[in-house]
Amino acid sequence: MNDEPYLLDPTHWDWAVTGSIPHLLLAHLGYTASAVLVGFVIAFPIGLYIGHTGKGSFIAINAGNAGRSLPTLGLLSLLVVLMSIGFLPILIALVVLVIPPILTSTYAGLRSVDRNAVDAAKGMGMSPAQVLFRVELPMALPVVFGGVRAAVLQVVATATVAAYVAGSGLGRLLVDGLALNDYGRMVAGAVVVAVLAIVLDLVLGLVQRYVVSPGITGRGLARARRTGSVAESPAEPDTELIGAGTSKGTS
């Protein structure tokens, strides 16, 4: 009998073995990437429209509340009953989970943009599309990225439910481990999911660091201060000399 922990057993990391951790990890990433991509394509344009025009803001607010209260496993079970087992019901259930954070963060990011900057852009003769994509969206990117990162983390954690409807992914370790009373397998699944979520969040944070303008995040000003390239503020006027000149002028 092999007493080595499931996570450390080399045979469970062998790509040649069907159902090994690398195979399950790849399937889990496939669920995550597909759901986030489809959800982003749906939610991002709607969030741009609502945030830019201010019309239909109740949709963004209610979508966030509904997304937090909707049971993904229950929705997935209902979709399987209606559509049978397959990739599509899993994708729909995860997309429903992705839409609220991206929609609300896009809307909130655009509405938080300084109105003075928007008015200045309009005063320069920019069209509504130019104002949106050259002023509002760049300034809203930190908030938008926050919603995308939240959506990715939620999907990574929730995609494990795919295994409950005969799907693949890291949830297989949890479901099969529970069925076989193999708690080492369940612990391995939980650890790999947690590590995957942390790694993806770090990668997205790195992408955000290089995509968002340093002037918006304040990194450019901080770097300039460290290098001493920021111009010093003008010297305070000498009040004594001004007072002396004033007294001479009046005498």
Please answer whether residues 201 and 34 qualify as being in contact, where contact means their C-beta atoms are separated by less than 8 angstroms. Answer: no
Q: How many domains does the chain have?
A: 1
Q: Return the closest-CA partner of residue 188 out of 167, 202, 174, 208.
A: 174
CA-wise closest residue to 67 among 196, 198, 158, 141: 158
In this structure, is residue 3 part of a structural domain? no
Q: Tokens for 109, please give them.
A: 């990011």
Higher-pLDDT residue of 180, 217: 180
pLDDT higher than threshold 80 for residue 18: yes
Residue 242 falls inside a structural domain: no
| CA-to-CA dists, residue 235 to 126, 225, 228, angstroms | 38, 18, 17
d(CA 67, CA 118): 31
For residue range 66-76, list pLDDT tens digits in order.
Answer: 777 778 888 88
Q: Give the E-state strand segments of 63-121 in sequence order.
A: none
Residues 135, 126 contacting (CB under 8 angstroms): yes
Q: Is a pLDDT exceeding 70 seen at residue 226?
A: no
Q: Supply the pLDDT for residue 109.
A: 92
Residue 153 within any structural domain of the chain: yes
Q: Residues 241-250: pLDDT tens digits?
A: 344 444 444 4
Query: Does residue 235 register a pLDDT over 50?
Result: no
Residue-wise pLDDT tens digits, 113-155: 988 988 999 899 999 899 999 999 999 999 999 999 999 999 9
**Number of C-beta neighbours around residue 157 at 10 A:** 16
Q: Is the dihedral of CA 89, 90, 94, 99 positive or negative?
A: negative
Q: Indicate which CATH number applies to the domain containing 201.
A: 1.10.3720.10
Strand, helix or coil for residue 184? helix
Residue 82: the pLDDT is 87
Integer CA distances (angstroms), 221 to 62, 213, 218, in order: 37, 11, 5
And the tokens for 237? 């006027």
Average pLDDT over residues 156-170: 90
Q: pLDDT tier at 44 (50, 70, 90 boundaries)?
A: very high
Alpha carbon separation from 37 to 40, 44, 80, 87 (Å, rounded): 5, 10, 22, 15
Rounded to 10°, the helix 87-111/21-53 angle is 40
Q: Kindly state whether residue 110 falls inside one of the protein's structural domains.
A: yes
Tell whether 172 is covered by a domain. Answer: yes
Between the alpha carbon of residue 82 and those of residues 77, 165, 189, the distances in Å are: 9, 13, 29
pLDDT at 5: 85
Task: With respect to residue 36, please indicate whether it lies within any of the assigned structural domains.
Answer: yes
Q: Answer whether residue 53 is part of any domain.
A: yes
Domain that holds residue 64: 19-220
**Residue 137 included in any domain:** yes
